[in-house]
């Protein structure tokens, strides 16, 4: 089942991320998709802040993967926009087996290696400050996560 969330401000998007963080679990994978400027990195910033990560969160477009290890859980933030077909040599799949939380921007670009169980969040721009987020849980843990937050 898909769930819709309408964000009318940056604060709404951050609050959703913080609420999801409050229900986190080991090995959690969140896949973010949506056009440029739709709020993907803003979501990660909210999640990281709720984890207690004090580092500045920026999109890892040229780094591909940034690891934040100083929060209450490890956060692996990926941006696979520029990866193309070279993702197998990077070891992205190894992160899915770690205890921390993995959040992937532009995840649809590596859909063939994503874990079967995960949370997809699709961001759609619906106005200057309005975004419609469609949350698609894959697996029972993610279904429970989304139903407890929304």
Residue 81 zone, left/alpha/beta (φ > 0; ψ -120 to 50; rest): alpha
Eight-class DSSP state of 68: E
Confidence of residue 85 (pLDDT cuts 50, 70, 90): low
16-56 pLDDT per residue, tens: 999 999 999 999 999 999 999 999 999 999 999 999 999 99
- Do 19 and 6 touch, CB atoms closer than 8 A? no
* Range 92-108 average pLDDT: 93
CATH architecture of 3-149: 3-Layer(aba) Sandwich (3.40)
Answer yes or no: is pLDDT of 67 > 90. yes
What's the confidence (pLDDT) of residue 88?
A: 65
* pTM for this entry: 0.94
> Between residues 59 and 122, which one has the greater pLDDT?
122
* Spatial strand order in the sheet of 29-34: 3-7, 131-138, 118-125, 29-34, 101-105, 75-79, 65-68
């Amino acid at each position: 089942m898909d769930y819709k969330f309408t964000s009318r401000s940056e604060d709404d998007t951050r609050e959703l991320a913080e609420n999801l963080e409050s229900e986190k679990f080991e090995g959690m994978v969140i896949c973010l998709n949506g056009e440029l400027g739709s709020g993907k990195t803003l979501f990660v910033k909210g999640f990281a802040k709720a984890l207690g990560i004090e580092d500045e969160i920026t999109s890892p477009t040229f780094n591909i993967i940034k690891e934040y290890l100083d929060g209450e859980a490890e956060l692996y933030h990926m941006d696979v926009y520029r990866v193309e077909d070279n993702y197998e040599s990077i070891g992205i799949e190894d992160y899915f087996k770690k205890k921390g939380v993995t959040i992937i921007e532009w995840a649809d670009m590596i859909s063939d290696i994503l874990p079967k169980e995960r949370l997809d969040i699709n961001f759609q721009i619906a106005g200057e400050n309005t975004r419609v987020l469609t949350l698609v849980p894959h697996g029972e843990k993610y279904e429970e996560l989304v139903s407890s937050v929304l």
